Copies of this chain bind each other. A is one copy, B any other.
Amino acid sequence: MNTEQIVLAKRPEGIPSDEIFKYETVEIDMPKKDEIQVEALYISVDPYMRGRMDDSDSYITPFQIDEPLSGHVVGKVIASEADGFDKGDIVTGQFPWQKLSNVPAKHVIKVSNTDVPLHLYLSVLGMPGQTAYHGLLKIGQPKEGETVVVSAASGAVGSVVGQIAKLKGAYVVGIAGGPEKTTYLTETLGFDASVNYKADDFSEQLAKAVPNGVDVYFENVGGLIADEVMKHLNQFARIPVCGAISGYNDTTIEHGPRIQPILIKSQALMKGFIVANYADDFANASKQLAQWVQEDKIKTKTSVMNGFEHIPEAFRNLFTGDNFGKQVVQVSDNI
């Protein structure tokens, strides 16, 4: 049997262009013992993947040239040679960008609740939700009445960060690009204020939005947006550093004001993290996040693009600011 995949043709410079992606048709056998065959339903595109496209020493191994790209996928079991998995089961895991894949069962998580839109397992009920939960609560530790600022606030991680912070009693300010997104943050998600980083008077708007300074800054973006937020840090501020998307496509190392004097002045804490650091607590977080979603205390927005061939375009949207909400690609109608 044949299936389609997308491989990395060459390493990108700057924003990944079409030439770095190559579509290939490959043969796929039946699954071996302890493997299952999964048909991809939704494929996730996430900013961190850009780092894996470079041949650099990072916290995860780089994608290899001529090998398929991969990431989080929600799929359906087509055939199983593994205990505990049956045909028709819905599963998630880190799979190749491939319509059909044989994967070791030990790398697969079976989804028990299929009453929610399945693509939520790529956002609030998946890696981005876990990222928001642990980064905010373990590092940010917002207290009631404190001010929490989050960048990329309408995105998959940021939108959950802001809503959890609200549930914890914080005053929440979101930074996003354009009036549609900023309105969504205050009107739909219940943020206390939102600021459009594309506005000419972003700096003044931000200052007005944080009259009591900033106690927690959940960092998704870096760059000039971060520079502005840092001007408002309160004493003992906490900055979970989740991402720095503004620099992901830079071909040189981005420079900015040195951080040491800023951290001393506010006696602030800054900590980088990846979601895998909190694997011990995934189960707890999953339960809590699912409950909040079911109680409609956390709302989500997903931008679904249709068709396997559109994955590169969906991925690029993450960096141009053209997507709104969690970006996923639906690659099968077999739902």
Contacts and interface: CB of A to CB of B under 8 A. Distances in A.
B59 A260 contact: no
The prevalent SS among residues of A at the interface is mixed
A268 B273 CA distance: 7
Given A241-B263, A263-B241, A258 B268 contact: no
Interface string A261-301: 11111111111111001000000000000000000000000
A272 B277 contact: no
B268 A271 contact: yes
Contacts of A270: 259, 263, 269-271
A96 interface: no
Q: What class of interface size applies to chain A in its complex with B?
A: 35 or more
How many copies of this protein are present in the complex? 2
A26 interface: no
A210 B266 CA distance: 30
Contacts of A59: 235, 264-267
Contact of A226 (B222, B242, B260, B271): B260
Interface string A225-238: 01000000001000
Given A255-B255, A258-B222, A271 B263 contact: yes
